[in-house]
Structure 1
Amino acid sequence: MKHFRQPVQSRPKKSSLIIGPDALEKAMAEGRQLERIYVVPNHKSPVWDRIKKLADATATPINRVPVEKLNGFNITGHDGVVGLIAKIQYQDLQDVLSLVIDRGEAPLVLILDGITDIRNIGAIARTAYCCGVHALLIPDKGVGALNDDAIATSAGALEKLAVCRVPSLMKAVDTLHLNGVKVFASEMTAEENIFGLDFSEPAAIIMGSEDKGIYPALLKTADVSFKIPMTGKFESLNVSVAAGMILYEAMKQRINAG
């Protein structure tokens, strides 16, 4: 059995929190972007239904947590609800694709499925920005928070790269297909070799977690599954290293094609 150490995330600063349901509803109604919402189980308040609708509309994750979690933020008056202000500005996938296509460029999108280690996410974002990725696509659940630690690991790339957060990666793949983007999946058991692929065309690349890989239903939506060949017998590459190898191959092809 593989064991992966989860990084310890630092406690958020009080200035990055929106405390209490009333303040949270007001901030969301004004368009304030949130990284996620923490709420105690079975919370009930007059505004909670409205908060949940706003969260659904903006693909903002809602985490059910014990009250001790909120008290651990060293705050009072939260009434069982706390919002964590987003450190980056999330963008709409279709808007990003339209902008790239209007510029006459072939979109290059990187999709992260189930990657929870924020340092891996930061490292991937850094390489993605350097390799010309147009958008980093993440689900609203099952991914590490893009907090100060993630931004620091990315060397600030997360603040420069377009990040799109969606409620369903499978529906996002539908959007990519409708825009003429071919979807590739990195899968170590695939028969196709990475060096036989054409990344110079509009392309999206799915990367899964090291322990579980890509969610099977999402994997089926890909047009092509491929592997990175290895001479040594080992279970898998680190996901940020694998992403770097794939993206540099894509960048090399695009430079040569240009």
Structure 2
Amino acid sequence: MQENTVIFGIRAIIEAIESGSAISKVYLQKGLRGELFFQLEKLLKKHKISVSMVPTEKLDRLSKHNNHQGAVAKISPVAFHELDSLLETTLEKTDTPIFLLLDQVSDVRNFGAIIRTAECTGVSGIVIQKSGSAPVNAETIKTSAGAAFRVPICKVDHIKDAMFQFQAAGIQLVAATEKTEASVYDVDFTKGSAIIMGSEHKGVSNSVLKMVDHKAKLPLQGDISSLNVSVACGAFLYEAVRQRL
């Protein structure tokens, strides 16, 4: 499997962003200045592209010691989908789709495992936020066993943007959270549903929880108070599958 394409040079990265390339991450040299750099910085903020400030040695390794001019970018090997068109084509096929919304899941292995389970359970699409989410890189694809090429993935400016669209389309929002007494087994997943999984450290954010139709948790029998997010996601998805069989 091919690694992410790496491009380097400030002007090359600016052109890649403006042409609509799926940039997964940009690495910039600490202390970099100049008119072209500020132009790039403005574009990165506008498109909410993940950025890391790193020493020049890191950039040398990433660019294999080519003339990187203090900037290296990784282009995602997976093409992202527009949520509007994915929602429209999905609803033409079924009134009861299942979508996944990931509220800043940041670990690539968790992300890959979630994509793999999503493919196995017939999920129509996965929505992630442009900032704060795990990148779709070679490791993500490897962990997903190639499912990242099969499940449509959409990027939105904020997870709430997608939530409004799902609600407008009559799709219920179900948040996986410990901040409830309701069980996942009490939710009717035979309806069109968008399941929201939270970040590894904070879970589903409070502002997102205020918008959902249902909050649900998994029963935990041991002393550890939470499950790994990819495992919890699998349990939620297979409860939906069980109800639909």
Q: TM-score, normalised by structure 2?
A: 0.89
Amino acid at match of 2:241: M
Q: Which runs of 5+ in 1 are unaligned?
A: 1-11
Superposed displacement of residue 59, structure 1:
4.6
Task: Please say if residues 106 and 200 of structure 2, whose CA atoms lie closer than 8 Å, have aligned partners that are also in contact.
Answer: no
SS at match of 1:91: coil
> What is residue 21 of structure 2 aligned with on the other side?
32
Deviating more after overlay: 239-248 vs 139-148: 139-148
Deviating more after overlay: 21-30 vs 85-94: 21-30
> C-alpha separation between the residues in 1 aligned to 2:14 and 2:125?
29
Matched, 1:178 2:178: no
> What is residue 19 of structure 1 aligned with on the other side?
8
**For 2:60, which of 60, 63, 71 is the aligned residue?**
71
Task: Please say if residues 25 and 47 of structure 1, whose CA atoms lie closer than 8 Å, have aligned partners that are also in contact.
Answer: no
Please give the per-residue CA displacement for 1:39-79, whole angstroms capped at 9, x wherever unaligned. 23454444445545654565532333333331232333111
> C-alpha separation between the residues in 2 aligned to 1:42 and 1:254?
55
Residues 1-258 of structure 1: pairs in structure 2 closer than 5 A: 16-41=5-30, 43-48=32-37, 51-52=40-41, 54-55=43-44, 58-73=47-62, 74-255=64-245
Q: Which runs of 5+ in 2 are unaligned?
A: none
Task: Please say if residues 16 and 85 of structure 1, whose CA atoms lie closer than 8 Å, have aligned partners that are also in contact.
Answer: yes
% identity of equivalent residues: 33
Superposed displacement of residue 149, structure 1:
1.1
Deviating more after overlay: 48-57 vs 222-231: 48-57
SS at match of 2:210: helix
Please give the per-residue CA displacement for 1:154-202, whole angstroms capped at 9, x wherever unaligned. 0000111111112211222122222222111111231111111111212
Superposed displacement of residue 146, structure 1:
1.6
Deviating more after overlay: 66-75 vs 44-53: 44-53
> C-alpha separation between the residues in 1 aligned to 2:81 and 2:105?
20
Superposed displacement of residue 236, structure 1:
0.8
Task: Please say if residues 100 and 106 of structure 1, whose CA atoms lie closer than 8 Å, have aligned partners that are also in contact.
Answer: no
Q: TM-score, normalised by structure 1?
A: 0.85
Task: Please say if residues 59 and 165 of structure 1, whose CA atoms lie closer than 8 Å, have aligned partners that are also in contact.
Answer: no
SS at match of 2:191: coil
Deviating more after overlay: 64-73 vs 190-199: 64-73
**Counterparts in 2 of 1:49 and 1:179: CA distance versus 1, 3 Å:** farther
Amino acid at match of 1:38: Y
SS at match of 1:249: helix
Superposed displacement of residue 234, structure 1:
2.2
> C-alpha separation between the residues in 1 aligned to 2:138 and 2:115?
14
Provide the alpha-carbon RMSD of the alignment: 2.2
